[in-house]
Amino acid sequence: KRALASAHALGEFDAVAEKPLTRVLDRGRSEQVRAVALGSLLDTWRADPSAKRIKLFVKHARSPESGTRGTLLRFLARVPSEQARDIYFDLIDDARLPIESRALLIRDLAERAEAVAGPALAELLTGKHDAELQAHALQCMLDRDLAAPLAVLRQLSRSAKSNDVRFLAALARDRL
């Protein structure tokens, strides 16, 4: 309880508390306390969402402790598109990170300009990406009406390991 109250209190000091709050992220024992510390850091980090900060964000973000889903997406939206793909793909493939945070990265990619979103989401459909994340990428493509390569959709609709991925790939293929 004290650690949680301390994380909340430190958050009131904005930039001055960045170092102690970052230490809480690195060393805090409680997942909830780390999530609260991260939520307190988001306003300070918003001006400069570096690769290191994004990695800490993905590792520790929890809604609602760190902020609403919208707050978390607004932080990610500050990452320049040319950097987002490179930074995000390493994190999306890291199975040690929470699936919810990795899905937020996919959602952020999906909300970017079509020239960025389409190729990035299509790339997630190939290779050895987690089936849940592939399904999420397909759903985002369907929501945005982005076309995936027909050959990829055919292959996924026939032989994907996940029923969800097979279904969504068939749905996307039928939209072409």
Structure confidence by residue, pLDDT tens digits, 14-27: 566 678 888 888 88
Structure confidence at residue 3 (pLDDT): 62
Structure confidence at residue 9 (pLDDT): 54
Structure confidence by residue, pLDDT tens digits, 18-70: 788 888 888 888 888 888 888 888 878 888 888 888 888 888 888 787 788 88
Q: Do 163 and 137 touch, CB atoms closer than 8 A?
A: no
CA 81 to CA 77: how far, in whole Å?
A: 8
Q: Global pTM?
A: 0.81
